[in-house]
Amino acid sequence: MKIWIHRNGVQEGPYDLPDLLNLGINATTPVWYQGLAQWMPAGVAPMTAPFFPPGATPQPQPQPQPQPQQVFVQQMRRPSTYMAWSILLTILCCSPFAIAAIITGAVSASRYNTGDYTGAQTMSDITAWLLIITIVLSPFTMFFLGGLWF
Amino acid sequence: MVLADAHRLLRILTVVAAVGIIAVVVYLATHNPESAPALRCPFKALTGYDCPGCGTQRAVHALFHADFAAAWRYNAALVPALVLALAYIVVPPRHASLLYRPGFNAGVAIAIVAWWILRNLLSI
A145 vs B42, B94, B113: nearest CB: B42
Contact (CB<8Å) B102/A106: yes
Shortest Cα distance, chain B CAs vs residue A1, angstroms: 27
Shortest Cα distance, chain B CAs vs residue A107, angstroms: 7
The residue of chain B with its CA nearest to that of A103 is B106
Indicate the residue type of A129. Answer: W
pLDDT over 90 (residue A53): no
pTM for this prediction? 0.68
pLDDT over 90 (residue A125): yes
A4-45 pLDDT, tens per residue? 888 877 778 888 888 878 888 888 888 888 888 888 888 888
Shortest Cα distance, chain B CAs vs residue A139, angstroms: 10
Cα(A90)–Cα(B81) distance, rounded to whole angstroms? 10
What local confidence, expressed as pLDDT, does residue B62 receive? 95
Q: Which residues contact B107 (CB under 8 A, 6 or more apart)?
A: none
The residue of chain B with its CA nearest to that of A112 is B102
Greater model confidence, A6 or A131 = A131
Cα(B102)–Cα(A106) distance, rounded to whole angstroms? 5
Window A:47-86, CB contacts with B under 8 Å: 77-78, 80-85
Angle at B47 between CA B41 and CA B51, to 5 degrees: 45
Per-block mean pLDDT, blocks of 10 residues, chain B (124 long): 74 93 94 88 87 92 94 93 92 76 86 93 88
Q: What's the rounded mean pLDDT across residues A113-139?
A: 91
Q: Which CA distances in Å does A49 have to A58, A114, A115, B45, B65?
A: 13, 10, 11, 52, 55
Tell me the average pLDDT of chain A.
Answer: 80
Q: Which residues contact A9 (CB under 8 A, 6 or more apart)?
A: A65, A66, A67
List the one residue out of B109, B113, B108 whose CA is nearest residue B98.
Answer: B108
Residue B50 within a domain? yes
Q: What's the rounded mean pLDDT across residues A68-73?
A: 46
- Asked if the interface predicted TM-score (ipTM) of this complex is over 0.85, the answer is yes
Give φ, ψ of A33 to 5 degrees.
-145, 165
B63 to chain A: which residues are within 8 Å by CB? none
pLDDT over 60 (residue A74): no
B32-57 pLDDT, tens per residue? 998 888 888 888 888 889 999 999 99
The total of structural domains in chain B comes to: 1
What local confidence, expressed as pLDDT, does residue B116 receive? 93
What local confidence, expressed as pLDDT, does residue B114 receive? 94
Give φ, ψ of A13 to 5 degrees.
120, -170
Coil, strand or helix at A24? coil
pLDDT over 70 (residue A58): no
Angle at A81 between CA A69 and CA A28, to 5 degrees: 20
Number of H helices, E strands in chain B: 6, 0
Residue B5 within a domain? no
Contact (CB<8Å) A142/B56: no
CA–chain centroid gap for A3, Å, is: 20
Q: Are B7 and A130 in contact (CB under 8 A)?
A: no
B85 vs A88, A93, A103: nearest CB: A88
Q: Which domain holds residue B90?
A: 31-122
Question: For an interface test with A, which of B105, B112, B117 has the most A Cβ atoms less than 10 Å from its Cβ?
Answer: B105
What local confidence, expressed as pLDDT, does residue A71 receive? 45
Indicate the residue type of A116. Answer: D
Q: Which residues contact B122 (CB under 8 A, 6 or more apart)?
A: none
